[in-house]
Chain A
C-alpha cells in the first residue's frame, strides 16, 4: 500500500469547464438532504451509489473542506434539536435526590433510557453517514488532517449533548449515574442496562485535551469521591452497629459488590481504584477497632476457635498494608498473656506446696511440671490449629507465634527442668496406658517446646539426671522409647550431647553382662558365697550426671561390705587400673521383714535397708533416736530425713515415730512397727522419685551449670584463638557467642572474665601495640 507513488488527491478529474459551482451546490444539497433523511430514519429511499458519487465528485473537485464543514453543520444542527426535543424534556425533576417524588430514581432511570436511545440513534446514523462519505474519509480527511467523519460525529455528540453549553445535561447525567449507583448500594434494583449504556457512551467519547476517555475525565473522579464519602460514613455506622464477624461479612459483601459493579457496567480501569477506597474506608480505618471489639474481636474469636471468622479476617485484612501486622501483634500479645497465666498457676501452685513441702508429697512437684508442659502443649496445639485452618500456614504468623512462645517459656526459669520432667513422665514404665505411638507423638510435640528453650545446657543437665534415675531404678518403659527420644535430641543438639547419653546406655548393657560373668565366677570359685544376691551397675563417671568420684558417707552392714569386696576383687581382676567407688545413695534392696501378722518382702533403698537393719539388734519396743540413727549410719542429713520420712510418715509405716507428725526433727524417736499390716505380700517403699527440685537443689544445679558454662566458654575461646592466632576483642566475643548460642546465650561480661582467666593462665596475651587485640600463645 505504501508503494503508491502519488497520493490519491493528485488524480485529476476530466475537465468539465462549465457549471462547477452549480454542480457543487446540487451535489451538496442532495447530500445534506440525504443526511437529514438518515436522521429521520428514512434511509431506504436513498441510493448509496448516488450519494457516494456526489461526495466523491465534491472531493474530487476540491470541495472536500466545504463538504466536511457542511456535514459538521448538519449533524450539529440535528444534535441541537435532539437536545431540545428529547434530552432536556427527560431531565429528572430538579433535586433528583428528593426521594418522595422520585422513590426509585425512576426519573433518573428514564433519563438514562432516553440518552441511551439518543446515543444509539446517533451512532447508527453516523455509521450510514460514514458509508456514503467513505471517499471523503479516505481522501480528504487524511490529507487535511481532520478526524474521520465517524469520530467527528462522536466529538459533536460530546460537545453538543454530553457537555452541552446550553443545557445542564452533563450535571444531570453525572448526578443520575451516581444516584443509580447509590440506590444499588442500598439494595434497590436498578436497570443496569441503562447505566451501562451511558457508561459505555462516556467510554467511547474522548476528551480533546487529555486524549483520555470522557468517562475518565468527567465521571470516574466524581464516582470515586462519592464512593469514598459513602464508605467513610458506612464504615463508621457499621463498626457502631455490628460485631466483628458481622462487620467482616458486610465488608466482604461490599468488596464483592463493587467488583461485580465494575464488571457489569463500569470500566475495568476503575476496579483497583474503587477496591482501594473500600479497603481504605472499611478495613484500614477500622483495623484496630474491629480487632479489639469486645466479645467479638480477634481475641474472642481465638478463645472460641472461630476458624471461619479468623480465616475471613486473615483474608480481609491481608488486603491492606498494616492488616496482618496488627493481627500478628494482637495474637502474639494474647499468646504471651495466656503463657503468663500458665506460668502464674505454676508459681502459685509451687508456692502453695512450698508451705507444706516437708510433708513430702513428692509426686505433686512433678505433677506441676507435667501440667505446665501439658498446658503449654495444648496452647501450642490450639495455635497450630489456628495457623493451619485460618491463617493458610502463613510463615510470618508462625514466626511471630514462635517468638511469643519462646518469650513466655523462657520467662519460666524452670521450663528446662519441667520439660525434662514431662519427658520423664512419658518414658516411665507403667504410666497412663499410652501406646508407643501416642507417647512418640507427645514427645515429638515436646521437642517443639524444647526448641524454644534458650538455656539448652540446663535442660541437658536435668535430662541426664532424670535419665540416670530411670535407668538405675529400672523404670524406663523401653530401650526403644529412650533411644527414640535420644534420636530426636540428637537432631536438635548434635552428637556431643548424645554420646554421653549413649554412654549411659552402654554402661547398663555392660553391667548386665558383667553380672552374668560374676555369677559364673562365684559358682566356680572356692570362695565363700556372699549371703545375699548382689547386683552391681558399673557407671563410667564421665557419662553420668552425679558426682561419682567420691563415695557418699554411709556405714554399710558387714555382710554387704563383704559382698562388695568380693565383687571388687572380681572386677578389678578383669580391669586393672580402674577405681570403683560405691554409690550407696543410689541402690535398692529387697529385704524380708517379719511382723506380728505375717512376713512381707520389702523393696527399699539402700539407705532404708541400712536404717531398718539397725532394728534387728533391738528388743521389741526399744526405740532409736534420730541422733542415734544418724550417728550409726553416717547417712547425710538430707538423705536421712527423706528416707526416714518414707519409712515412718508415708503410706507404709514400717517405723513408728514419736512424736507423730510429717516432719523429721532432731530428738524424734523411732520404733519398729511390729503391728504393721498390709494386704500385699510384696511392698515397695516409695523412694524419692523424679520431682521438681527444691530451692537448694536448684541453686546447686545452677552453680553446676555456671561452672560448665565457664569451661565451655573457655574451650570456645581457645578453639577460636588457636585457629585465628590473633583477634580483636569484639570480634572474638561475637564469634564465641555464635558458637555457644545453640546451648545458651553467653553474656559478654562472662566471656570477658574467661578471656582474662586465660590470659592469667598464659593461653592468651594482649598484643603489645593494641590492648584490644589478643594473641594466642601456643
Chain B
C-alpha cells in the first residue's frame, strides 16, 4: 500500500507542476512573480491559507481566481513551500543556507509546524 501512497504523492506533485485547474494565483516576492496552485490543497494543508482563502478575506480576479500577494516571501521559497504542501516533502539538500533560513521564517509565518521541525533538524 505504500506504493499507492507514493502514487498519490506523485499525482499531487504533477497537479502542481501542470497547474491543471488552478484557482489560486500567488504573487510572491517584492517584485512579484506568479505561481499557480489549488485553493483546496492549500486550505486543507495549511491553517494560514484556510483563513486567508476564506470568505471573510478572499480576493479574486475577474476570472474568479483567488489572488494572493505575498511580498515578503520570494518565489523560490514559495515554490519550495508549495511542493511541501502538495507532497509533504521538502528537499533542502541542494539549497544554500540563506535559502534554508528564508524557508524557516516563511514556514514559521505560515504556521507549518512540521516543516519548522524538519528544517531545524536539518540545520
- CB nearest to A10 among chain B residues: B120
Q: Are A131 and B51 in contact (CB under 8 A)?
A: yes
Asked if B47 CB lies within 8 Å of chain A CBs, one says yes
- Which residue of A4, A13, A48, A127 has the most chain B CB atoms within 10 A of its CB atom? A48
B52 within 8 A of A: yes
What per-residue 1/0 map shows which CB atoms of B1-35 lie under 8 Å from chain A? 00000000000000000000000000000000000
Instruction: Compute how far the CA of A1 lies from the CA of B117 in the bound complex, rounded to whole angstroms.
Output: 8
By the criterion CB–CB under 8 Å, are A49 and B70 in contact?
yes
- Provide the A6-20 mask, 1 if CB < 8 A to any CB of B, else 0: 101001011000000
CA separation between A460 and B106, bound complex, in Å?
Answer: 103
Question: Would B56 and A128 count as touching, CB distance under 8 A?
Answer: yes
In the bound complex, what is the Cα–Cα distance between A1 and B111 (angstroms)?
12
Find the A residue at minimum CB distance from B102: A14
What CA separation (Å) do A135 and B51 show in the bound complex? 12
- B105 CB within 8 Å of chain A: yes
Q: How large is the interface on A (under 10, 10 to 19, 20 to 34, 35 or more residues)?
A: 20 to 34
**Which parts of B89-117 form the interface with A (CB within 8 Å)?**
104-105, 108-109, 111, 113-114, 116-117
Check if A314 is an interface residue, CB within 8 A of chain B. no
Q: Which of A6, A53, A127, A134 contacts B120 (CB 8 A)?
A: A6
Known: A8-B116, A49-B70, A134-B51. A56 touches B56 (CB 8 A): no
A53 to B70, CA, bound (A): 10
Chain B residue with the shortest CB-CB distance to A1: B113
- Contact A135 to B109, CB < 8 A, known contacts A6-B120, A49-B69, A49-B70: yes
Interface string of A43-72 (1 = CB under 8 A from B): 100111100110010000000000000000
Q: Assess A48 versus B108: contact at CB under 8 Å? Given A4-B116, A134-B47.
A: no
Contact B111 A138 (CB under 8 A): yes
In the bound complex, CA of A46 to CA of B121 (Å): 37
Bound: A46/B54 CA distance, A: 13
Per the bound structure, the CA–CA distance linking A46 and B52 in Å amounts to 11
Whether A53 contacts B72 by the Cβ 8 Å rule is yes
Please tell me the number of chain B residues within 8 Å of chain A, measured between CB atoms.
Answer: 23
How far does the Cβ of A61 sit from chain B's closest Cβ, in whole Å?
A: 13
Residues of A within 8 A of B56 (CB): 43, 48, 127-128, 131
Q: A79 to B52, alpha carbons, bound, how many Å?
A: 26
> Does B48 touch A at the CB level, under 8 Å?
yes
The answer, yes or no, to whether B68 is at the interface (CB within 8 Å) is yes
Contact status B120-A56, CB under 8 Å: no
Complexed CA–CA distance, A8 and B109 (Å): 10
Measured CA separation A136–B105 after assembly (Å): 15
Q: Do B105 and A13 have beta carbons less than 8 Å apart?
A: yes
Q: How many interface contacts (CB-CB < 8 Å) are there between A and B?
A: 53
How many Å lie between the Cα of A49 and that of B78 in the bound state?
Answer: 15
- Whether B59 and A135, one on each chain, are in contact in the complex, defined by CB atoms closer than 8 angstroms, is no
Q: Are B108 and A11 in contact (CB under 8 A)?
A: yes
Interface set, chain A 82-138, CB cutoff 8 A to B: 127-128, 131, 134-135, 138
Residue of B whose beta carbon sits closest to that of A43 = B56
Which interface residue of B48, B113, B116 has the most chain A CB atoms within 10 A? Answer: B48
> What's the Cα separation between A128 and B56 when bound, in Å?
7
Nearest chain B residue, comparing its CB with the CB of A6: B120
For the complex, give the distance between the alpha carbons of A3 and B117 in Å.
7
Known A1-B113, A43-B56; contact A134-B105, beta-carbon cutoff 8 A = no
Residues from 2 to 48 in A contacting B, C-beta threshold 8 Å: 3-6, 8, 11, 13-14, 43, 46-48
Q: Please, which residue of chain A has its CB at the minimum distance from the CB of B109? A: A56
A435 to B117, CA, bound (A): 94
B-side contacts of A131, CB under 8 Å: 51, 54, 56-57
A5-B47 CB under 8 A given contacts A56-B109, A128-B56: no
Whether B117 lies near A53 (C-beta < 8 A) is: no
* Binary contact track A583-627/B, C-beta < 8 Å → 1, others 0: 000000000000000000000000000000000000000000000
Task: Decide if B113 touches A49 in the complex (CB within 8 Å).
Answer: no
Select one of A4, A43, A53 contacting B113, CB under 8 A.
A4
The smallest C-beta distance from A377 to any residue of chain B, in angstroms, reads 78
Contact check: which of A14, A127, A134 meets B48 at CB < 8 Å?
Answer: A134
Chain B contacts of A46 at CB under 8 A?
A: 57
Q: Is the CB of B116 within 8 A of A49?
A: no
- A53 contact set on B, CB distance < 8 A: 72, 109
Q: Are B111 and A134 in contact (CB under 8 A)?
A: yes
Expressed in whole angstroms, the minimum distance between the Cβ of B66 and any Cβ of chain A is 11
Across the interface, do B104 and A11 meet the contact criterion of CB distance under 8 Å?
A: yes
Tell me the bound Cα distance from A1 to B112 in angstroms. 11
By a CB distance below 8 angstroms, the chain B residues around A43 are 56-57
In Å, the complex CA distance between A382 and B51 comes to: 74
Counting chain A CB atoms within 10 Å of each CB, the highest count among B52, B56, B70, B72 belongs to B56
Q: How far is the CB of A60 from chain B (nearest CB, A)?
A: 8
Give chain A nearest CB distance to B78 CB in angstroms. 13
A128–B51 Cα gap in the complex (Å)? 9
Q: Which residues of chain A have C-beta atoms less than 8 A from B116's C-beta?
A: 4, 8, 11
A53→B57 CA distance, assembly (Å) = 14
CB–CB A8/B117 < 8 A:
no
In contact, A48 and B51 (Cβ under 8 angstroms): yes
Q: Which residues of B contact A14 (CB under 8 A)?
A: 105
Which residues of A lie under 8 Å from residue B48 when comparing CB positions? Answer: 52, 134
Report chain B residues within 8 Å CB of A52.
Answer: 48, 51-52
Contact with B59, one of A11, A13, A47 (Cβ below 8 angstroms) = A47
Q: Roughly how many angstroms separate A48 CA and B113 CA in the complex, as a whole number?
A: 21
**Min C-beta distance of A27 to chain B, whole Å:** 13
Instruction: Give CA–CA (A11, B104) in the complex, Å.
Output: 9
Which residue of B has the minimal Cβ distance to A38? B56
When distances are taken between beta carbons in the complex, the residues of chain A under 8 Å from B57 are 43, 46-48, 131
User: How far, in angstroms, from A681 to B117 measured CA to CA in the complex?
Assistant: 124
Query: Could you tell me the distance between the alpha carbons of A43 and B109 in the complex, rounded to whole angstroms?
Result: 22
Task: Tell me which residues across on chain B come within 8 A of A5, comparing CB atoms.
Answer: 117, 120-121
Chain A residue with the shortest CB-CB distance to B70: A49
Q: Cβ of B108 and Cβ of A8 under 8 Å apart? A: yes
Q: Mark B37-65, 1 if CB is under 8 A from A, else 0.
A: 00000000001100110101101000000
Chain A residues near B104: list those with CB within 8 A: 11
Q: What CA separation (Å) do A8 and B111 show in the bound complex?
A: 10
In the bound complex, CA of A1 to CA of B118 (Å): 11
Interfacial chain B residues near A48, Cβ < 8 Å: 51-52, 56-57
Q: With the chains together, A5 CA to B116 CA distance in Å?
A: 10
A514 to B25, CA, bound (A): 122
Q: Could you tell me the distance in whole angstroms from the C-beta of A459 to the nearest C-beta in chain B?
A: 83
A3→B115 CA distance, assembly (Å): 12
CA distance A130 to B120 in the complex (A): 28
Chain A residues near B114 (CB-CB < 8 A) = 1
Q: B117 touching A4 by the CB < 8 A rule?
A: yes
Chain A positions 132-184 with a Cβ under 8 Å from a chain B Cβ: 134-135, 138
| Cα(A700)–Cα(B48), bound, Å | 106
Evaluate contact between A49 and B47: CB separation under 8 angstroms: no
CA distance A53 to B106 in the complex (A): 11
- A13: chain B residues within 8 A (beta carbon): 105
Within 8 A of B (CB), among A367-413: none
- Return chain A residues, CB-CB under 8 Å to B70: 49
A52–B70 Cα distance when bound, in Å, is 11
Query: Considering only CB atoms, which chain A residue lies closest to B121 in the complex?
Result: A5
Question: Contact between A11 and B117 (Cβ–Cβ < 8 Å)?
Answer: no
- Across the interface, which residues of A come within 8 angstroms of B109, CB to CB? 53, 56, 135
Starting from the known contacts A1-B117, A4-B113, A43-B57, 13 additional A-B residue pairs (CB-CB under 8 Å) come to: A3-B117, A4-B120, A8-B108, A11-B108, A46-B57, A47-B59, A47-B69, A48-B51, A49-B70, A53-B72, A56-B109, A131-B51, A134-B48
27 pairs of residues in contact across A and B, judged by CB atoms under 8 Å: A1-B114, A1-B117, A3-B117, A4-B113, A4-B116, A5-B117, A5-B120, A5-B121, A8-B108, A11-B105, A11-B108, A11-B116, A46-B57, A47-B57, A48-B51, A48-B52, A48-B56, A48-B57, A49-B69, A49-B70, A52-B51, A128-B56, A131-B51, A134-B47, A134-B51, A134-B111, A135-B111
Give residues in B with beta carbon < 8 Å to A.
47-48, 51-52, 54, 56-57, 59, 68-70, 72, 104-105, 108-109, 111, 113-114, 116-117, 120-121
Leading 5 A-B pairs by shortest Cβ distance:
A48-B57, A131-B51, A48-B52, A11-B108, A4-B117
